Amino acid sequence: MAVFDTPEEAFGVLRPICVQLTKTQTVENVEQLQAQLQTVSDSALQELQQYILFPLRFTLKIPGPKRERLIQSVVECLTFVLSSTCVKEQELLQELFSELSSCLYSPNSQKPASVSEELKLAVIQGLSTLMHSAYGDIILTFYEPSTLPRLGFAVSLLLGLAEQEKSKQIKIAALRCLQVLLFQCDCEDHPKSLDEREQKKLGDLFASFLPGISTALTKIITGDFKQGHSIVVSSLKIFYKTVGFVMADEQLRRISEVQATPTVEHRIAKLMVHREANWVKNTGDKLTILIKKIIECISVHPHWKVRLELIELVEALLLKCSQSLVESAGPLLKALVGLLNDESPEVQAQCNKVLRHFADQNVVVGSRAFADILSENLHSLATSLPRLMNSQDDQGKFSTLSLLLGYLKLLGPKVNFVLNSVAHLQRLSKALIQVLELDVADIKIVEERRWNADHLSASPKTSATRPWRRIQRRYFRFFTDERVFLLLRQVCQLLGFYGNLYLLVDHFMDLYHESVVYRKQAAMILNELVAGAAGLEVENLHEKHIKTSPEELREIVTSLLEEYTSQENWYLVTCVEAEEIGEELTMKRSGLQAITSGAHTCQLTSFPAFSKPSPTICSMNSNIWQICIQLEGIGHFAYALGTEFRLLLMSALYPVLEKAGDQTLLISQAATSAMVDICHACGYDSLQHLINQNSDYLVNGISLNLRHLSLHPHTPKVLEVMLRNSDASLLPLVADVVQDVLAALDQFYDKRATSFVSVLHTLLAALAQWFSDPSDLGQLQEQSVGEEGSHLSQRSAALQNRLENTTTAEDIEQFLLNYLKEKEIADGNVSDFDEEEEQSDPPKVDENDTGPHVEPPLPLQIQIASDVTERCIHLLSDKHLTIRLKVLDVLDLCVVVLQSHRNQLLPLAHRAWPPLVHRLTNDDPLAVLRAFKGRPR
């Protein structure tokens, strides 16, 4: 808190100290003055400003050597006075500026004087405070041609300190002071906004310093990374603000070609620059060299704030100097798009913001020069892309693809200029095909099988957190970084969004048909093209761009669906067991079209018609991935069309259900994901809802295909998947189909028993679940579905119920006697005593019974279970162990379903007992164990 508020009081206190300092220039006197100044108010200091400054300036002007400590104290005291007052006279401002600058002058060298770091820091802070203390328009009077030497010396001094000093604090202070001198200060009250005349005057003045400033700052910017990011950030800011001010198109348009006669002396006039066309051209060319060096260094700077400032540099120069720095537009745009996928989210966000701003202002598309530069760069990149994808490492591929993605985003609809060039489209497509080649040598792909019979998915809501863009993990031959694959997908989506979709789909379909080596990659690209055309997750920077119409998209999706689900592309050999199934398909085609190879290392041998080739691991892996990619594509198509995809369900759902029942794990997972995608896209609540709503034509397709089973061997899988993921309401619809299945089993039991028995097992498990008795032990519904062949009998349930109700020894004895008696009856050993006992107790006749007793019709599930049991009895003696084991499981489920209808169960159990005894006594140990578990009760 100031003690002396009036000038008179302050003068009385300060006068003795000022006189003493004028007489004797010591550090103690200066410090005493500064201590006393802190007791004086700012208003009193303002009145006494020049009086107080006199002894301080006098100390600085005394000729001869002076102690650094004294100079430092004087400068710090002077800085304190300036920070509390305003400089209102032009002459005082210029004199103080010169006096402070001279403190670091070295007459024997162009470098700053070799003084202590503390003094250098004090002088820098004093200059900065002086410029801030200039009052009103006084600051502008300082920037006159006559001050060029004085100002030039200070600029050179500060650049030297920033470039050569080792102290980080001095470097940063020098750069901030330079910002103040060049009217780039960020504080609120300095500088004020400038009109056109003032901007031109300052631009002409700063143009004299531009070569030195730009060269020195480039050295700082491209220096060692260890100097710290804040120094580089400040240097970048000064560079682009200075260049953007001096080379601004708006200023240069108002400058005449004829230079006005200068009103200063000849020596100073030689320092002045006239910014006419030739100077602009020459300076722009030299700046382009520096800008390229800066971009080359800063694009890979480890600190994200430096890369963020590079984006600001690009934005400022492209917006303000698009004409004067036209040669720099290419490198600047390349730097911008190269940071589009930066590892820092802040850099990514700012880059996207700038790109959107450019799109809104038509900076690129609206400027023919910029658009031509971008198109030329894209042409060049497309030409070299195959070579780069083949020779670069993962980081190099990531950088190159980031560049390609940025060009596509900036060009937007104008990308068609490049795509319409056949040569460049071929280059681009071959590069994408090449880099997306899968590694199909892993044996785990073909050996992973789906053994359990669980539901595919209870509801799509359980997978709601799975974005549509999530796909199966896959491995590529030429890269391992997941970021590269993500970039490739984004590139394809942007091509589909902005490019001519018909042209691109036709081109990649040609590659799809051209070679089996290209087929998987082409399918991946086609999937992303459709997703991009629908605008899924695509950031549109060009609001005027017209998306592909729904009708056109539906036509393209329809043609792709037909191609994907065609015989030669859908029914491929994926395991050795599939050879029998695929034999008829192979014989129908000439050559080996059902077996494809996706790797160069897997040789594809041409087989004559009607031959049976032996598929390799690579070929089966390749086929598995092709089917998975096509299934993934169907999910993409569903999202692309939304509810419109319901119109295509008749052609798409049946093939997907076929693959959902496939024994290959990857294919089954891909089909399940596709079904969930279809549920989400078409508005179904669950897979059960999807199947039930479309069960009519699914059942019709199954029924028709069962009549031509040799042509449609995968038909039972569709019914199996439907039963697993539906409820009892489906049973009336599939009842006739079940009879068709049983008839087909009777006809093809020696060839296709495995697939039919699997369907029957799923059918009986579903019946046991749908029509389970809630009083049975252990919740029979869960056991019959969750554990194959592990179901408790009705008698064990009854026994458990008795045990729970305080079971006695008599109860157990009676249970065993009843069991033995019924076993004897089932074996046909009925004693005479039993017959007499039965005759002695005639059945009671109901007096109200007026006619013969007619049994009610059996429930549908009981009829089906009885028919299935009949077939199982015959198949218990099959020569294949796997079929016998499966039949035992089915038979066990039949008992579960029939246990409430003893009149049907007991005769069938009697017929099944002899072959079951044979399984128990003379069969493989696995069959013995399974037969013991599943014996009729």
Whether residue 396 contacts residue 388, with contact meaning beta carbons closer than 8 Å, is answered with yes
Check pLDDT > 60 for residue 849. Answer: no
- Over residues 25-52, the mean pLDDT reads 91
Nearest CA among 552, 418, 397, 561 for reference residue 495: 418
Q: At what angle do helices 715-724 and 753-770 cross, to 10 degrees?
A: 20
Task: Provide the token pair at 40.
Answer: 């004086």
Could you tell me the CA-to-CA distances from 28 to 351, 354, 659 in Å, in that order?
A: 56, 56, 93
Question: Of the ranges 317-321, 371-375, 390-394, which one carries the lowest mean pLDDT score?
Answer: 371-375
CB 529 within 8 A of CB 408: no
Cβ–Cβ < 8 Å for 621, 441: yes
CA distance 924 to 147: 108
**What is the reported pLDDT for 110?**
62
pLDDT at 243: 95
Q: Which amino acid is residue 186, in one-letter code?
A: D
Q: What is d(CA 427, CA 388) in angstroms, rounded to the nearest whole number?
A: 12
For residue 744, what are its two tokens? Answer: 């087909």
Binning pLDDT at 50, 70 and 90, where does residue 793 land? very low
CA proximity to 309, closest of 289, 288, 335: 335
Q: How far, in Å, CA of 230 to CA of 215, rounded?
A: 19
C-beta separation of 702 from 719 below 8 A: yes
pLDDT at 580 > cutoff 60: no
- Please report the DSSP string for 874-928 in residue order: HHTT-S-HHHHHHHHHHHHHHHHHHTT-HHHHHHHHHHHHHHHHHHHHSS-HHHH
Collapsed DSSP state (helix, strand, coil) of residue 222: coil
86-92 LR contacts (CB < 8 Å, sep 24+): 86/46, 86/133, 86/134, 86/135, 87/130, 87/133, 87/134, 87/135, 87/138, 88/135, 88/136, 88/138, 89/138, 90/138, 90/141, 90/142, 92/50
Q: Which residues contact 452 (CB under 8 A, 6 or more apart)?
A: none
Does the pLDDT at position 554 exceed 90? yes
**Residues sharing a CB contact under 8 Å with residue 118, sequence separation 6 or more, in sequence order:** 72
- Beta bridge partners, 4, equal 40
Q: Using one digit for the tens of pLDDT, what is the confidence trace for 417-453?
A: 888 889 889 989 999 999 999 988 776 676 676 654 4
The pLDDT, as a whole number, for residue 541 is: 67
320 CB burial (10 A radius; 0-12, 13-18, 19+)? buried
Query: Of 364 and 300, which is predicted with more confidence?
Result: 300
Comparing 288-292, 561-565, 800-804, the range with the smallest average pLDDT is 800-804
**pLDDT band per the 50, 70, 90 thresholds, residue 588:** very low
Using CB atoms within 10 Å of the CB of residue 512, give its burial: 0 to 12 exposed, 13 to 18 middle, 19+ buried.
buried
- The pLDDT assigned to 220 comes to 94
Question: Tell me, what's the pLDDT at 298?
Answer: 92
Band (317; pLDDT cuts 50, 70, 90) = very high
> Residue 647: what pLDDT?
92
Task: List C-alpha distances in Å: 551 to 547, 649, 672, 931.
Answer: 12, 16, 27, 59
pLDDT above 90: residue 737: no
Give the lowest-confidence range in 367-376, 520-529, 694-703, 847-856.
Answer: 847-856
Checking phi first, is residue 806 left (phi over 0); if not, alpha (psi -120 to 50) or beta? left
- pLDDT score recorded for residue 364: 62
Q: By mean pLDDT, which of 551-555, 776-780, 806-810 is the weakest?
A: 776-780
Instruction: Using pLDDT thresholds of 50, 70 and 90, give the confidence band for residue 652.
Output: very high
**Separation CA 155–CA 365 (nearest Å):** 39
Q: Are 873 and 908 in contact (CB under 8 A)?
A: yes
pLDDT at position 598: 39
Q: Reply yes or no on whether the pLDDT at 597 is more than 70.
A: no
Residues recorded for the chain: 937
CA 104 – CA 368 distance, rounded (Å): 50
Nearest to 406 by CA among 425, 426, 381, 423: 381
Residue 274: pLDDT above 60?
yes
| Predicted structure pTM score | 0.72
Amino acid at the residue 369 = A
Could you give the 3-state DSSP secondary structure of residue 4? strand
Contact (CB, 8 A) for 382 and 424: yes
How far apart CA 866 and CA 300 sit, in angstroms, is 75
Taking all residues of the chain, what is their mean pLDDT, rounded to a whole number? 81
| Distance of alpha carbon 486 from alpha carbon 489, whole angstroms | 5
d(CA 115, CA 571) in angstroms, rounded, equals: 85
Half-sphere exposure for 889 (CA within 13 Å, toward CB): 26
242-262 average pLDDT score: 83
pLDDT for 184 equals: 84
Residue (of 498, 318, 488) closest to 400 by Cα position: 488
Q: Is the pLDDT assigned to residue 732 strictly greater than 80?
A: yes
pLDDT at 494 exceeding the cut of 70: yes
> By three-state DSSP, how is residue 87 classified?
strand
**Cα–Cα dist 846/364, whole Å:** 98
Question: In angstroms, rounded to a whole number, what is the distance separating the alpha carbons of residues 146 and 262?
Answer: 11
pLDDT at 532 over 50: yes
- Whether 254 and 196 have beta carbons less than 8 Å apart is answered as yes
Most confident of 40-44, 539-543, 632-636, 686-690: 632-636
Query: Is the pLDDT at 247 greater than 60, yes or no?
Result: yes
pLDDT number for residue 3 = 77
Q: Which of 579, 620, 454, 426 is nearest to 514 (CA)?
A: 426
Comparison of pLDDT for 322 and 753, the residue scoring more: 322
Predicted local confidence at residue 807, as pLDDT: 54
DSSP-derived 3-state class of residue 720:
helix
- What pLDDT is attached to residue 192? 63
196-200, 211-215, 718-722, 927-931 — most confident range: 211-215
pLDDT at 467: 42
% residues pLDDT > 90 (the chain): 33
Buried b / exposed e over 22-36, threshold 16 CB at 10 Å, is eeebeeebbebbbeb
Residue 706, burial from CB neighbour count under 10 angstroms (0-12, 13-18, 19+): middle
Angle between helices 860-875 and 731-748 in degrees, nearest 10: 20
58/899 Cα distance (integer angstroms): 118
The full 3-state SS of 94-160, as one line of letters, equals HHHHHHHHHHHCCCCCCCCCCCCHHHHHHHHHHHHHHHHHECCCHHHHHCCHHHHHHHHHHHHHHHH
Residue 77: half-sphere exposure toward Cβ, Cα within 13 Å: 29
Structure tokens at 509: 């379909």
Q: Please, what sign has the CA dihedral across residues 42, 44, 45, 49?
A: positive
Per residue in 112-121, pLDDT (tens digit) is: 778 889 999 9
State residue 169's pLDDT score.
Answer: 94
- In Å, how far are 229, 331, 333 from 350, measured between CA atoms? 18, 18, 14
pLDDT score at 190: 61
Give the pair of three-digit tokens for residue 598. 């996706």
- The distance of Cα 320 from the centroid of its chain, to the nearest Å, equals 34
Which amino acid belongs to residue 559? S
pLDDT at 815: 72
437 three-class SS: coil
Q: Which residue has the tokens 């157990």?
A: 812
Cβ atoms 694, 652 nearer than 8 A: no
